[in-house]
Structure 1
Amino acid sequence: MSTNPRKKCLVEFQLAEQPFRPGEVAIVGAGPGDPGLLTLRALMLIQQADAVVYDRLVSPQIMELVNPGAECIHVGKASGCHYVPQEDTNELLVQLAGRQRRVVRLKGGDPYIFGRGGEEAEFLVDNDIDFQVVPGITSAAGCASYCGIPLTHRDYSQSVTFVTGHRKADQSLELNWRVLAAPGQTRVFYMGLSNAPTIVRELIAHGLTGDCPVALVERGTTPQQHMAVTTLWGLEATIAREGFQPPTLIIIGEVVKLAEKLAQPALKGREALATKAITASAGGRPA
């Protein structure tokens, strides 16, 4: 089967030669962790960057792909423990751009889905800084697929809702629970571990059955992926028993029933190889 050389050259030009101007900020989604899920546009930008401002959810494997000459600045955040306040991160982006650096703001998942990318974009606009946004595969899509869970399915779920499980400044989790408890949908809670009791209580109080299937996915798509299937009734006990830690997604809905059937053997094999490599690098001890 012949290929079209002209078309190939055009694609290569668009990916490799698109100008990334000094003084510009690229807000880039790194995806959920597996470097194979990084977009080509994201790869091009991190390899051209003079400065990379990155979060804790960006995997080490992806950071290895960054331009070796770039200044890498960690501004990672954890719930209730901010390494760098968001306001300082905003100012940092403006300062770096003002020094005519080509700046990549690298975020786990997608910048505009619970990634604070919108807040940073607003601040750049307010300070007359040129920027572009490169979407990434959000954690919900990547982690669910790697665990054999289709977020929608004609027989089980006709819609999917991404929900924050953690409010700004630790505010109470006030959501439209009646809508979230309605049947025929998949709910994916980001950052919901600490509010799991509230999630269980409110969903059941508003009509969702306690035996509704639930999946927990910690560090999905990476060699450290940890996944468990339970029910709404068993959610809190499963978190405690298996020691789930952030970042963990909580996927609630009938589609979770398909996890075992649709688990991907190729991914299992890759995870096994990765585990062996990690163990070997740790001198034979589990990492």
Structure 2
Amino acid sequence: MGSVRLRSLKEKIQLRGDEDEHEQVDSWSNRDLIPLPPSRRTWGWFHYFGYWTLNSLNISNWQTPNTFLSYGLSAGQSMMVIVVGKLLVTFFSTLIAWCGLRWHIGFTVQNRFTWGLRGSYIPLLQRVLLNFIWCAIQCWNGGRLVAVCITAIWPSFAKMHNTLPSSMPTTTYQFVGFVLFWIFSVPFLFVRPEKFRLPFLVTSIYCGVGMLCMMIWSLSVAKGVGPLWTTGQNIPETSSWNLHWLEMKGINQIIGGIAAGITNGSDFSRYARSPKNYVLGTVLSAWITGVLVSLVGLVVTAACQKIYGEVYWN
């Protein structure tokens, strides 16, 4: 009985080829691995603008520059780090994605160029393991926000009895938010990537409006950004060597934060109608919007330091 059920499940999830399109399905080829036909290359520059904006308008991008303030850098110095780091990210994103733009293939096939057919499983496995970590980080961030939203509706939710041991760096109500966010995310795994154009656009607008509201609120309460905007906290004024190393550390942190994500850039660039659509959308959003989001995050953090007396970041 068990083997019959497993066989039935395998038949339901197995990818089948379309004989009319001369598709072959085996361990080396299927419709998601072969070069995309023109009918599936539907993304224009604005869709890539939305895609990269979603990568910019998120908690991770908001958090990163605030870390530099805790190092002792001023907000102005942090902005220099962000501008340079985002520019390098934009350059490498376009460079890595060129295989998808030129040959309309994804990350899996791209690896076969240098690793061979069987050797390509090595970087693929590495990418899968990195996905586990990245997914966990995003689910945890999302879960914290879900917990905040539920608390705003039902304040008693935050007072839920904590059933987790004190050694756990979380509480029961935060863990419930994490589980709920994870469950809400699962259905999106069954949506084809080219169908994400509208969700990218809608979420980008909502996130952008929310971040602007946070900035307006913090500036209104603090009556300005405070001294943290021009002066750092912990770096000796005579130690330019330490300052420059901290700036290099910040640039490396920006690149490292997205390096795993851009390695499979061809998985998305292959949906472009033309290479210029991807390049234009990436430059306008990954660099310009990314810098603006970090600027808003720095303004809010600097203003909140004036309100609460210390730099808050996560």
TM over 0.5: no
Provide TM-score, normalisation by structure 1: 0.23
- Asked which structure has the greater RCO (Cα within 8 Å, sep 6+), the reply is 2
Q: TM-score, normalised by structure 2?
A: 0.22
Q: Which has the higher strand share?
A: 1
